[in-house]
Amino acid sequence: MVIADFNKPLALPELDLVKKKAPLRLGFSTGSAATAAALGAAIFIRHGRPPDKVTISLPKGESLDINISEASRDHLGLITCSVIKDAGDDPDVTNGAKISVSLEPIDQPHIYLIGGSGVGRVTKPGLAAPVGGFAINPVPTRMLIEHLSLFISAIGPGLKATVSILDGERLALKTLNPRLGVIGGLSILGTTGLVRPFSHQAYAQTIETALKVALAQGLEEIVLTTGGRSETMAREARPDLPLEGFIQIADFFSFGLKSAAALGFKTIGLASFFGKAVKQASGAAYTHARSSDLDLGALAASLKNLSSRLSYLISSASTALNALEILKAENQLWVVQELAQSVVKAAARFAGAKVNIWTQIFDFDGLTLARAELKGRDL
């Protein structure tokens, strides 16, 4: 049996992007926490006392030991066990959250899973859980049912399991849940049962989910932004698009474009600042500072009609902001327009020839420096 030890440091190539000297520690998902709490409650009912810890099976065949933090029986005999979510070294807002499961034997021969306080409900299509249902994804649902089914014959013909998250409604406001249409609390998530700190996969899944929600809203155009500030500026520039049409892709330039194109969006916009635009124009698939150098010299070399003096000044700039200040001082903002043209061409190489691409490059005061567009097949 393979044991997945979430206290064991994890060394992954992508974690080199994070400035930490020590290896990072694995955590476990909200789905694993809920499964462990449910298993603890079932053992409590079966044996009359709660366990200190339980061992759950993960989707890929591993096993994981998780401590039971609290256990109780109310005056009606309802059994509840709780687990404290441990996200490892991942900066997850659910880290430290108390996730509880209450079990109640029922006469019907099935396991009935519902969300309680702090678990959100789905109000928009495009998510893994159905509209109107509780935000408990398929893999955690399967995990809970599989673990509880082991106890059905011993403690009753059926069970009603209620999953709750203490303070979940407040914590959810710090996540993308309200935007994605999950209202009233957090989601019970997890595909592997584990949380890999600063995981590229986790962020990619967030991007995919946001894109699917936008698609389910019937949108044909979306805007990919590099973060909160660029999104705010993009929303001011495009008030005709609903909130779901703006997707924060951070540094995932290639992935965001390829995913949006694969889902069939006809028009993809890009909103970014000058520094990110320089990296996007170079064709960098991933634009994080530690994976993609800001090569202002290459930018200067790629520009026609650039004087040797201005080329030297741009190449010698210490930062993107410094280079932009030079361009403004020299009244040479045509360079940013050329840059925008290069961005849409680079984006089209990732998204494909059938997608309309446009970009808008902002300065830090929110002013538009340049805008360019490339119609589908116009490559």
122-140 pLDDT, tens digit each: 999 998 899 999 999 999 9
Which of these, 326, 256, 317, 322, lies nearest to 286 by C-alpha position? 256
Predicted confidence at residue 317, as pLDDT, reads 83
The CATH number, out of the four listed (3.40.50.280, 3.30.2110.10, 1.20.1600.10, 3.40.640.10), of the domain defined by the range 9-195: 3.30.2110.10
**Mean pLDDT value across the chain:** 88
Q: Average pLDDT for residues 307-332, to the nearest whole number?
A: 87
Rounded Cα–Cα distance for residues 329 and 323 (Å):
10
How many residues does this entry show for the chain?
379
> Is the pLDDT reported for residue 263 higher than 80?
yes
Upper half-sphere CA count for residue 111 (Cβ side, 13 Å): 22
Rounded Cα–Cα distance for residues 88 and 352 (Å):
38
The confidence band for 207, taking pLDDT boundaries of 50, 70 and 90, is very high
Question: pTM for the full model?
Answer: 0.73
Which of these, 114, 138, 149, lies nearest to 191 by C-alpha position? 138
> Is the pLDDT reported for residue 23 higher than 80?
no
Q: Which residues contact 252 (CB under 8 A, 6 or more apart)?
A: 200, 203, 204, 207, 286
Which of these, 133, 136, 116, lies nearest to 124 by C-alpha position? 133
The lowest-confidence range among 24-38, 97-111, 288-302 is 288-302
Predicted confidence at residue 189, as pLDDT, reads 92
Cα angle 146, 150, 153; round to 5: 130
For tokens 């000058």, name the residue.
274
Joined together, the tokens standing for residue 58 give: 């993960």
Predicted confidence at residue 3, as pLDDT, reads 41
Q: Average pLDDT for residues 132-155, to the nearest whole number?
A: 94
The confidence band for 290, taking pLDDT boundaries of 50, 70 and 90, is low
Predicted confidence at residue 59, as pLDDT, reads 92
The lowest-confidence range among 5-19, 214-228, 354-368 is 5-19
* Helix (H), strand (E), coil (C) string for the chain: CCECCCCCEECCHHHHHCCCCCCEECEECHHHHHHHHHHHHHHHHHHCCCCCEEEEECCCCCEEEEECCEEEECCCCCEEEEEECCCCCCCCCCCCCEEEEEEEEECCCCEEEEECCCECEECCCCCCCCCCCECECHHHHHHHHHHHHCCHHHHCCEEEEEEEECCHHHHHCCCCHHHHCEECCECECCCCCEECCCCHHHHHHHHHHHHHHHHHCCCCEEEEECCHHHHHHHHHHCCCCCHHHEEECCCCHHHHHHHHHHCCCCEEEEEEEHHHHHHHHCCCCCCCCCCCCCCHHHHHHHCCCCCHHHHHHHHHCCCHHHHHHHHHHCCCCHHHHHHHHHHHHHHHHHHCCCCEEEEEEECCCCCEEEEEEECCCCC
Predicted confidence at residue 32, as pLDDT, reads 97
Q: Which residues contact 218 (CB under 8 A, 6 or more apart)?
A: none
Enumerate the CATH 3.30.2110.10 domain ranges in the chain, comma separated. 9-195
The confidence band for 296, taking pLDDT boundaries of 50, 70 and 90, is confident
Predicted confidence at residue 13, as pLDDT, reads 36
Predicted confidence at residue 17, as pLDDT, reads 38
The confidence band for 289, taking pLDDT boundaries of 50, 70 and 90, is low
Q: Do β-strands 194-195 and 27-28 pair in parallel, antiparallel, or remain unpaired?
A: antiparallel
Joined together, the tokens standing for residue 139 give: 């893999």
The lowest-confidence range among 3-7, 29-33, 253-257, 347-351 is 3-7
Q: Average pLDDT for residues 318-324, to the nearest whole number?
A: 84
The confidence band for 198, taking pLDDT boundaries of 50, 70 and 90, is low
Which of the pair, 115 or 228, is modelled with greater confidence?
Answer: 115
Predicted confidence at residue 199, as pLDDT, reads 63
Which of the pair, 17 or 185, is modelled with greater confidence?
Answer: 185
Predicted confidence at residue 8, as pLDDT, reads 44
Q: Average pLDDT for residues 9-13, to the nearest whole number?
A: 38
> Is the pLDDT reported for residue 265 higher than 50?
yes
Residue 242: how many other CB atoms lie within 10 Å = 12
Which of the pair, 324 or 290, is modelled with greater confidence?
Answer: 324
> Is the pLDDT reported for residue 82 higher than 90?
yes
